Amino acid sequence: MTLPILACAVGLAAAATPAALRLADDLAATGADARARRVPVMLVFTETTCGYCTKAKLGHIAPLQASRDYGDKVIVREVDVAREASLRDFAGAPTTPAAFARRYKVRVVPTVVLVDAAGGALGEPLAGLMIEDFYQLYLERAVDTAHAVLRERRLKP
């Protein structure tokens, strides 16, 4: 009888764990998706060995991505600045995660930047984990601000 209960507990724990963030690899395609859906892109600059990055991702960003209120309002992509891989930027040009982070003047991780479909910033970046009790609110406000900027741009002649 212990095995079925243990298996059930493991299944529940796995279901409660937020989904991992999708790594940025082709931001030109991500930008096209954002343009079609009329939503901003949240770039989450991290590093694998950064404990604060893990806290931010698992405790705040992944749950925001999975929420009913914000899941459809933003496309989230993680940029691991220490990763030895190439990625395509919003213009389709090859770059590295570290070089891409320098474009956004990322100096600490985690840093969150909300951008439009072409990679243009839609507000001030959230650098560091800040006050953890309010971090979710900061993220939600950043997404709401990005939407307001996009909406304002669409209304301009």
C-alpha 84: how far from chain center: 19
Alpha-carbon gap, residue 6 to 90, rounded angstroms: 46
> Range of 93's domain?
19-155
Distance, CA of 31 to CA of 42 (rounded, Å)? 11
In a domain, 144, yes or no: yes
pLDDT at 103 over 50: yes
pTM, two decimal places: 0.87
- Residue 63 placed within a domain: yes
Mean pLDDT of 73-94: 96
Residue 68 is classified by DSSP as T
In-domain check, residue 139: yes
Tell whether 1 is covered by a domain: no
Note whether residue 76 is domain-resident.
Answer: yes
Tell me the average pLDDT of the chain. 89
> Structurally, how many domains does the chain consist of?
1
| CA-based torsion, 92, 122, 135, 19: positive or negative | negative
SS3 letters for 39-53?
Answer: CCEEEEEECCCCHHH
pLDDT confidence of 107, banded at 50, 70, 90? Answer: very high
Helix ranges, 17-78 (H): 27-37, 51-56, 62-66
Percentage above 90 pLDDT, the chain: 81
**Cα Rg of the chain (Å, integer):** 17
Q: The domain spanning residue 27 has which CATH number?
A: 3.40.30.10
Any domain includes 70: yes
Residues constituting the chain: 157
In a domain, 39, yes or no: yes
> Which residues are CB-contacts of 156 (< 8 A; sequence separation ≥ 6)?
none
In this structure, is residue 6 part of a structural domain?
Answer: no
Specify the residue for token string 């999708």. 22
Note the pLDDT tens digit of each residue in 45-64. Answer: 999 999 999 999 999 999 99
Q: Is residue 153 scored above 60 in pLDDT?
A: yes
Using one digit for the tens of pLDDT, what is the confidence trace for 35-44? 999 999 999 9
